[in-house]
Chain A
C-alpha cells in the first residue's frame, strides 16, 4: 500500500530564515497532497494543499512544490516567525490507500528567536 516518509523529524531554524520539510510517497497514482500544522495540544489544521495537476502552490509565506516524477513534495516556509513553531504533517491520497489519506510521521519545527 501507499507509504509516506517525512523528513526531518525535527527542524530548528533561526527566526527569519526559511524552513523546508520534505515528504516522499510510494503510490504513483497519488493525486492529492495536503499539509497540516498542529500546535501543542490542538487539532491539526490544514495550511496548504496541492493536487497532482500543478507543480507549485503559494499562499503568502507558505508554498508547496510537487515532483511527480520523483514522487516527492515539499513544504517551504519563508521568513519564519515564532508562531510557526509546531508539528507539521504531510499526507498523500491515492489508489493504493483506497483513497484515504496516508500520513507522514510529522516534523517538529522549532523557531529560535
Chain B
C-alpha cells in the first residue's frame, strides 16, 4: 500500500531564516505531488504541484520554491522566511492518471517568530 511521509511535524523558525520541508511517498511510481498551505481556521491553498521529476508548477507568487529531485520526493524551500509564511503545510500525492483522489501527509505546523 502507498504511504506518504512528511517532516518535521512542528517547526519554529525566526523571520529571515531558511526553510526546508521534505515529503516522500512510498508504494507508487510517478505520482503527482502537491504542496498546500492552510492558515488557521481557513481552507487549502495550493502552492506547488509536480507531475514528474524536475517539473514544478507554481500557483501562488511568493518567497517559497519547490523541487522534485527524485520521483517520490518533494521539497518545499525558502531562503528567507516571512511572518506571513506561518501555517500548516501539507504535502499530498495522487496517481498520475486523471481524476484520482489526493492523499495528504500529516502536515508540518510552521510558526515564524
Question: Which residues from chain A sit less than 8 Å from chain B, CB to CB?
Answer: 31-32, 34, 42-46, 49, 51, 89, 93, 98-101, 103-106
- Min CB distance, B80 to chain A, in Å? 27
Contacts of A103 in B (CB 8 A): 43-44, 46
Q: Judge whether B31 is part of the interface by a CB distance below 8 angstroms.
A: no
Binding site for A on B (CB under 8 A): 42-44, 46, 49, 57, 59, 90, 98-99, 101-107
Does more than half of chain B's interface fall in helix, strand or loop, or is it mixed?
A: loop
CB-defined contacts of B106 to chain A, threshold 8 Å: 42-43
Point out the residue from B43, B57, B90, B103 that lies within 8 Å of A105, measured CB to CB: B43
Write out the residue numbers on chain B whose beta carbons fall within 8 Å of the beta carbon of A43.
90, 104-107
- 20 A-B contact pairs sorted by A residue (CB < 8 Å): A32-B99, A34-B101, A42-B106, A43-B90, A43-B105, A44-B90, A49-B101, A89-B43, A89-B44, A93-B99, A98-B57, A99-B98, A100-B46, A100-B49, A101-B46, A101-B102, A103-B44, A105-B43, A106-B42, A106-B43
**What B residues does A99 contact at CB under 8 A?**
98
B90 neighbours in A (Cβ, 8 Å): 43-44
Q: Which residues of B sit under 8 angstroms from A31, Cβ to Cβ?
A: 99
Question: B46 — which chain A residues lie within 8 A by C-beta?
Answer: 100-101, 103
Query: Is there contact, CB below 8 Å, between A46 and B101?
Result: yes
| Complex Cα spacing A106 to B90, Å | 16
Interface centre among B44, B46, B98, B103 (most CB of A within 10 A): B44
With A32-B98, A98-B57 given, can you name 5 additional A-B contacts, CB distance below 8 Å? A34-B101, A46-B101, A89-B44, A105-B42, A106-B42
The chain B residue sitting closest to A33, CB to CB, is: B99
A44 to B49 alpha-carbon distance, docked (Å): 17
